[in-house]
Amino acid sequence: MKGESTEALLPNMVATSLAKLPIPKLMRWGASDVHFVRPVHTVTLLLGDKVIPATILGIQSDRVIRGHRFMGEPEFTIDNADQYPEILRERGKVIADYEERKAKIKADAEEAARKIGGNADLSESLLEEVASLVEWPVVLTAKFEEKFLAVPAEALVYTMKGDQKYFPVYANDGKLLPNFIFVANIESKDPQQIISGNEKVVRPRLADAEFFFNTDRKKRLEDNLPRLQTVLFQQQLGTLRDKTDRIQALAGWIAEQIGADVNHATRAGLLSKCDLMTNMVFEFTDTQGVMGMHYARHDGEAEDVAVALNEQYQPRFAGDDLPSNPVACALAIADKMDTLAGIFGIGQHPKGDKDPFALRRAALGVLRIIVEKNLNLDLQTLTEEAVRLYGDKLTNANVVDDVIDFMLGRFRAWYQDEGYTVDTIQAVLARRPTRPADFDARMKAVSHFRTLDAAAALAAANKRVSNILAKSDEVLSDRVNASTLKEPEEIKLAMQVVVLRDKLEPYFTEGRYQDALVELAELREPVDAFFDKVMVMVDDKELRINRLTMLEKLRELFLRVADISLLQ
């Protein structure tokens, strides 16, 4: 603010910034009415060597700092703001810089893993969380009994990372080692005591996983089917058992379309939700899918069926791997399309930021699988089949169009993230192609077309043709009458349109859109000459209709790919 000093502005800036922090849960402490994420004991607010008087979160500012609770000095003063990182480290035993703490943990954990012949699983999210939990990170290595390695690694890793914030360690061949790395917040005179304490804490959790795994395997995965009848998928859409029946049928239908094993796809559909009823998944929810895979293997199911049970949820997030085999692709698409058809079918579309059934992720997942695996699937027939399997449960008469429009909208977001321009996306969306692989081919073709010298002129010409046709209320002919043509420019253009129409038909049929647009770019010169020399809206009705018909045929050629009149 003009005229006010930094000293005067700082207190309000700090207080406002703290108040606007997106903290989901606040707490009070003592007799104070102040709310914050944790109790605040001191506020140090300096500008250079001067204390800025202020009351922040109920505390009067000062130059007093408190260090590490057990290792640092209880209180000490700071003379100048520039001293903060150094004095806090030396006297307070606190590393103030988050990035420095994170880098230290990463480097020390990598070294600790190397010493035991392994590689630490230093996922970025857990690394960031642990760096935020400690002030003076000390990396230590611990172990657990090798017998627990008989349990699927995913379950062990889930409890180590999720519950305990430990870093698992893998051998060079990718197998889990009976070790883990953790970060203490203190330099102990007896680090073995801390190590033993952490080993003691994790042992019961691993024992639980072992017990659940052994108990679950006493019956077949399929034996859990009846229990799915007791769990609602959605009140209007039935139980998980109902959903399983629909997924089973839809996965088989999809498998037939894409050339996958229909029997294996329907089997995977039948078993798809059975692991949700197991003890392991009930206790460790993030192991859904992967435990289904392990139990299916134990039961002797086909390998592609077992893998599909794990990969049905892929892609789980942006950039995640796609299902690896055709059966898994069929199951993943079926699961997501069933949810999309059902939720849209009862009118519960995502609104704003609210998307409780993760429909945006489901739609994008279906599109990614179809496009990146180049599957011959049409959203129209796929959605119709998914809707049909619901019988009379759905109440939205426009459910098919709503689902397709929603999915095409996901294309917009996806291709923008991929770097495509908005007008390129709009040009393809205008044709509403419902085959995702076909949509992708059109996008690549239009993007390439934009690089051609003729692109701008032909886009402008298409816009002009579109406007002329839109303003005309004439009933046009089915074909151009060659005998009515007069001017050399219109004769030449008409001939090239006819030649290209016949030549490009196989291109359009085969989806060779890029080649087609390259050929159509050759029309730039005759199109420019036509508009320079020929008047379209002449008084002679027969001549006028013939010229309008020719322009319509010209535009139809481009529209076989996209509406390039929308290109800027």
Query: With bands split at pLDDT 50, 70 and 90, how would you rate the model's confidence at 2?
Result: low
Read off the pLDDT of residues 181-221 as tens digits, 9 standing for 90 and up. Answer: 999 999 999 999 999 999 999 999 999 999 999 999 999 99
Query: With bands split at pLDDT 50, 70 and 90, how would you rate the model's confidence at 100?
Result: very high
* Mutual angle of helices 541-559 and 455-471, in 10-degree steps: 130
Residue type (1 letter), 167: F
Whole-structure pTM value = 0.84
Calculate the alpha carbon distances from 567 to 458, 459, 465, 527, 531 in Å. 10, 6, 14, 17, 19
Domains of the chain: 6-90 (no CATH), 98-213 (no CATH), 222-419 (1.10.3210), 445-566 (1.10.730.10)
Read off the pLDDT of residues 455-486 as tens digits, 9 standing for 90 and up. Answer: 998 899 889 888 888 888 777 777 877 778 88
Bridge pairing between strands 55-56 and 59-60: antiparallel
Is residue 432 left, alpha or beta, with left meaning phi > 0 and alpha meaning psi from -120 to 50? left
Residue type (1 letter), 214: N
* pLDDT, mean of residues 164-177: 96
Is residue 358 left, alpha or beta, with left meaning phi > 0 and alpha meaning psi from -120 to 50? left
DSSP 502-564: HHHHHHHHHT-HHHHHHHHGGGHHHHHHHHHH--SS-S-HHHHHHHHHHHHHHHHHHHTT--G
Query: With bands split at pLDDT 50, 70 and 90, how would you rate the model's confidence at 3?
Result: low
Calculate the alpha carbon distances from 64 to 37, 52, 374 in Å. 21, 13, 64
Distance CA 291, CA 297 (A): 10
* pLDDT, mean of residues 512-532: 91
* pLDDT, mean of residues 290-304: 97
Angle at 203 between CA 198 and CA 204, to 5 degrees: 120
Closest CA to 228 of 157, 278, 159: 278
Cβ atoms 530, 546 nearer than 8 A:
no
Q: What are phi and psi of 170, to 5 degrees?
A: -115, 150
Angle at 418 between CA 413 and CA 420, to 5 degrees: 85
What is residue 554's predicted lDDT score, i.e. its pLDDT?
A: 87
Read off the pLDDT of residues 123-132 as tens digits, 9 standing for 90 and up. Answer: 999 999 999 9
**pLDDT over 60 at 1, yes or no:** no
Calculate the alpha carbon distances from 89 to 130, 136, 495 in Å. 19, 9, 82
Distance CA 237, CA 253 (A): 21
Calculate the alpha carbon distances from 339 to 136, 257, 368 in Å. 47, 20, 17
Closest CA to 316 of 277, 268, 358, 373: 358
Distance CA 86, CA 552 (A): 75
Query: With bands split at pLDDT 50, 70 and 90, how would you rate the model's confidence at 282?
Result: very high
